[in-house]
Amino acid sequence: MTLATPHNIVINSERTKLDIDFVHSELAQKYWSLGIPRAVVEAAIANSLCFGVYLEETQKQIGFARVVTDYATFGYLADVFILETFQGQGYAKRLIAEIKAHPQLRGLRRWMLITRDAHSLYRQYGFTSLAHPERAMEHNNPTIYQTI
């Protein structure tokens, strides 16, 4: 599915259009996935609904996000980024809006995500802090990619 946006970008959920080298290169530098191996990125993409953000004129990919979902009740928003040189132009806002409006994701009962620094962005799209954080649990291994 390709969606034209008013910001001279195209948001596309066609996995075959993704620039895997670009996505891997960017994710390997992000605080949440530092050093992630390409094979792990490929597996994550293969098992998620992914969104690429492309400049309309050149089709150069400048952003990415993926949703891990059962397509019925739950979606986990992950790996959201816009290249630094294109930040501040509303592209991330448009990306999140398009993800939340995607036909395969509209009926989800629960969305989740984890962010260190983008709370104000996600609040604009209905995300809040956990109502009952005492119910949430995690098993986190933040250095796993440094040991593979």
pLDDT in tens, 18-40: 999 999 999 999 999 999 999 99
- Compute the Cα dihedral for 42, 142, 26, 129 and give only its sign: positive
When pLDDT is averaged across residues 37-57 and rounded to a whole number, the result is 97
Whether pLDDT at 53 is above 70 = yes
Q: Considering the entire predicted model, what is its pTM? A: 0.91
Whether pLDDT at 3 is above 70 = no
Q: Are 34 and 28 in contact (CB under 8 A)?
A: yes
The predicted pLDDT at position 134 comes to 95
What are the DSSP calls for 39-91, one per residue?
HHHHHHHHTSEEEEEEETTT--EEEEEEEEE-SSSEEEEEEEEE-GGGTTSSH
Q: Does domain 2-147 have CATH number 3.40.50.1100?
A: no
The predicted pLDDT at position 101 comes to 95
The predicted pLDDT at position 7 comes to 57
pLDDT in tens, 98-143: 999 999 999 999 999 999 999 999 999 999 999 999 999 999 998 8
pLDDT band at 148 (very low <50, low <70, confident <90, very high): low
The predicted pLDDT at position 132 comes to 95
The predicted pLDDT at position 1 comes to 55
List the domain boundaries for the chain. Answer: 2-147
From residue 57, give the alpha-carbon distance in Å to each of 26, 86, 109.
22, 15, 36
The predicted pLDDT at position 146 comes to 81
| Distance in angstroms (rounded) separating the CA atoms of residues 49 and 67 | 5
